[in-house]
Amino acid sequence: MSYHQKSVFSAVFLALAISGWAQSGDGKGTSPVSPKAVVVTGNRFTYKLVQKWIDEYNKIAPQAQIIIESRGSSDPAKFDILTEVYTPDQETSKTREYLYVGRYAVLPVATAKSAFANYFTDKGLTAELIKQIFFNDMFADKEKQEDINAPYTIYTRQQKAGVPLVFAKYFGYQQTDIKGTSIAGSDEHLLKALLRDPNGVTYLPLTLIYDQQTRKPVEGLAVLPVDLTGNGRVNDDEKFYVDLDNAIEQLEKKNPSDIKNIPVEYLHLSVSRETASPEAIDFLKWVNENGQVYLHQFGYLLPEAKYFQKEKFVEFAAKRNH
């Protein structure tokens, strides 16, 4: 390399170095620190709501890097935030801080044009019928069971998961007691399998039963009304599932203890009490203050006041950030 070439190379290198130093943002020649990416994982049907929270949070914190990663075979402990839809076990609860941000309801559904749907959208389902249709029970009195003349095929989740666990536990069973064809994948896969069968029957959360734009049940799906009061029959005023907003309104205005035969469980977000990053905590602080505004849009119920304790998470965040 000639002397002239060396001079040109040195000048270019120096210019690039000065440019990089000038763009460091603090004028002191130090490199800016990029915010840590926050990875959220958990139950898939919650992802639309979580993504909405992320989008809204980025409007006031555009530098925040929050991404959703589908939960697979990898260890969920490597993720920053878990979004779950069933009560955590006691051992897990000891190590994580929870934010109980909303509720969801689980209802029986059927393929809309089936004879089964035609009959039971009018008749409705009592607790006894739900147990007869959905669960294997060796102790059930077969002589007292109702004759069901319409053909139907039950579909359920194959893997251990939140919604089937909640559904089974509510009626006094284990997930393994649910009858039917087991579908691998998520709750969304369960819905797709159901819609392909003209006689399909299953259980789903409100947020998947309804189209969030039209607010009507997903095309091809019928909601099966249940005995909400527990009096052994389904009255006309218990058939309020024509649209999502009406279903939410009717369920929210009732005292939770008065709701029978509809499992209602919490959606909660959690972080590790020991290793939660400041970025993850800041995002959850925003959800704690603002997240409820978007619950109805995506088919969730507001939390009960006794479980939605803003101050509890604020105290945790304050301790972690010092």
In degrees rounded to 5, what are phi and psi of residue 215?
Answer: 70, 5
Angstrom distance (rounded) from CA 175 to CA 157: 9
Q: Are 159 and 184 in contact (CB under 8 A)?
A: yes
Task: Compute CA distances 107 → 3, 23, 74, 164, 221, whole Å.
Answer: 80, 56, 31, 11, 12
Grade residue 23 by pLDDT with cuts at 50, 70 and 90. very low
Could you read off the pLDDT of 173-186 as tens digits, one per residue? Answer: 999 999 999 999 99
Angstrom distance (rounded) from CA 124 to CA 227: 7
CA 81 to chain centre: 13
Q: For a pLDDT cut of 90, what percent of the chain falls above it?
A: 73
Q: For a pLDDT cut of 70, what percent of the chain falls above it?
A: 87
Could you read off the pLDDT of 93-150 as tens digits, one per residue? Answer: 889 999 999 999 999 999 999 999 999 999 999 999 999 999 998 777 777 788 899 9
Q: How far apart are the first and last CA of the chain?
A: 56
Angstrom distance (rounded) from CA 17 to CA 217: 60
The average confidence (pLDDT) of the chain is 87
Angstrom distance (rounded) from CA 140 to CA 156: 21
Could you read off the pLDDT of 262-284 as tens digits, one per residue? Answer: 999 999 999 999 999 999 999 99
- Residue that wins the pLDDT comparison between 65 and 1: 65
State the pTM of this model: 0.85
What's the rounded mean pLDDT across residues 84-92? 86
Q: Return the beta strands (E) in the chain as ranges.
A: 38-42, 66-68, 81-84, 96-111, 153-157, 181-183, 200-205, 221-223, 264-272
User: Can you tell me whether residue 161 is helix, strand or coil?
Assistant: coil
Residue 63: how many other CB atoms lie within 10 Å: 9
Residue 315: how many other CB atoms lie within 10 Å: 12
Q: Return the beta strands (E) in 4-76 as ranges.
A: 38-42, 66-68
Contacts (Cβ under 8 Å, ≥6 apart) of 267: 46, 49, 83, 84, 85, 100, 101, 102, 103, 104, 300
Task: Compute CA distances 141 → 116, 231, 318, whole Å.
Answer: 23, 20, 56
Q: What is the pLDDT of residue 319?
A: 84
Grade residue 82 by pLDDT with cuts at 50, 70 and 90. very high
Task: Compute CA distances 233 → 85, 122, 219, 284, whole Å.
Answer: 29, 11, 27, 43
Say whether pLDDT at 29 is over 90: no
